[in-house]
Amino acid sequence: MQWTDEGIVLGVRKHGESSVILEVMTREHGRHLGLVHGGRSKSLQPVLQPGNTIQATWRARLDEHLGTFQVEGLDLRAAQLIGSPLALYGLATLAHLLRCLPERDPHQALYETLEVLVDHLDDPHLAPALFVRFEVAMLAELGFGLDLTSCAATGGRDNLIYVSPKSGRAVSAAAGEAYKDRLLRLPGFLIGQTRSNRPAGSDIRDGFALTDFFLHQNVFEPRGQSAPEERARFVTLATVEDD
């Protein structure tokens, strides 16, 4: 068994004296693990840093085996990201979220979203909104997609400003007025109502509150987990930067 793909490094853990087990989110083969011989060497350590994009060739005698990776660096952005606390907390959160996906299950659209996010993860102006969009995409890939295209009550597409916590569907201002205290706020940048690449701080907070609710309800709590501490720290930095 053999394939070659590009992927973004999520993490490594030591294996023996000189090797590591590499965890990478690949474009065509999903989240994948493999052994890298000599992965703790001076030449490979800078390549196998979280956030880097690599080309990986995986080989194994049988498909169910751990297998081995041979790797080559493509975009070594980790050197830039390591100086940003926002990026470091973001990388740790992304790895935690992606580990909710079944190993080796391809998610090509999610990979594209991840790649754009990681490219801008140290940018306090762009990263917060991109991160919210990634979490929305993550919910969809896990089978809990939000329907933000029309009002759950009327079917209309105008003035959508709420989301129902029960159905995950958008609700218009008029239909939700009587129940607004029980509804989640829908930030305009998630439905193309904000032209700026930098939404207002209140919209960013609403976005994170929205994804936080559905991640806890549908992903973390059913697994007996809680959100990683790094996510809370990322959100704090992201919303402070946007004030």
What would the pLDDT profile of 97-139 be if each residue is shown by its tens digit? 999 999 999 999 999 999 999 999 999 999 999 999 999 999 9
pLDDT value at residue 197: 63
Query: What's the pLDDT tens digit per position in 175-218?
Result: 999 999 999 999 999 998 766 667 889 999 999 999 999 999 99
Distance CA 52, CA 222 (A): 31
* CA separation, residue 18 to residues 8, 14, 23, 155, 163 (Å): 22, 8, 16, 59, 50
Domain shared by 68 and 89, yes or no:
no
Mean pLDDT of the chain: 95
From 20, 44, 77, give the residue that closes a domain.
77
Using a pLDDT cut of 90, give the percent of the chain over it.
93
Q: How many domains does the chain have?
A: 2
Tell whether 135 and 201 lie within a shared domain. Answer: yes
Q: Is 130 exposed, middle or buried (0-12, 13-18, 19+ CB in 10 A)?
A: buried
Reported confidence tier of residue 240, pLDDT bands at 50, 70, 90: confident
Residue span of the structural domain in which 10 resides: 2-77
Q: For tokens 């790895």, name the residue.
A: 95
Given 77, 110, 140, which residue is the final one in a domain?
A: 77
> Tell me, what's the pLDDT at 241?
55
Residues 37 and 12 in one domain: yes
pLDDT, residue 24, reads: 98
Q: Among 77, 106, 132, give the residue marking a domain's end.
A: 77
CA distance 140 to 147: 10
